[in-house]
Amino acid sequence: VVRRTWGKEGHFQNGVSIRTVFLLGVPRNQTALPLWDRLLAYESETFGDILLWDFEDTFFNLTLKETHFLKWVNSSCPHVKFIFKGDADVYVNVENILEMLQGQKSDEDLFVGDIIIHAKPIRRRSSKYYVPAFVYGGGLYPDYAGGGGFVMSGHTARRLSSACQQVELFPIDDVFLGMCLQLIGVKPSRHQGFRTFGIPRPSAAPTFRRLTPVSTKNSRLF
């Protein structure tokens, strides 16, 4: 679905060229692995856009995926200007992102998303995001981009690739990236077009008579 919609590759306004890649680890369910291997081999041969690493694709390995992706960008895409990295279950307004990037310099630091500030570590064991004090004893996390997606310049991506080798791995990938940004002295910028929370759920049976057509361009990036 992503390949046919917002992740579609091609040339866009002002000669911008877009390439899409998918980041994967191996499935946890070993019984499904043989079928998964065959399907992935077919998909990879057909599209040539899959990056696969030899670790389980789990929540707590997302940080590994982050570090491996940045290393791959640094070695395989040294001239990339900008990167959007996001989850597969989001929808991205590509045209609006391109519009936002107009005038931005790819050789300068840029990191934009739905920035979470003054977040505290969760000490509740039942939480998915539980972090014990011996893992992180600080009172607040550094500013970081909430889940869903973010945009960064190629320059920032290369600096983050280096920072990842210096920062101790952390179980929450978003926070880990915030730690790396803090190390290189880059303050992430919040853009109202990025929404992680507070998006209204549409009615199951909308009344179309209540919708008024407008010509204003949607400002939401995804």
Question: Which residues of the chain register pLDDT less than 50?
Answer: 204-222
Predicted local confidence at residue 148, as pLDDT:
85
Ordered domains of the chain (ranges, CATH): 60-197 (3.90.550.50)
- pLDDT the model gives residue 205: 42
Predicted pLDDT of residue 208: 34
pTM assigned to the model: 0.85
Other C-beta atoms closer than 10 Å to the C-beta of 183 total: 16
What is the per-residue pLDDT for 31? 87
pLDDT value of position 89: 87
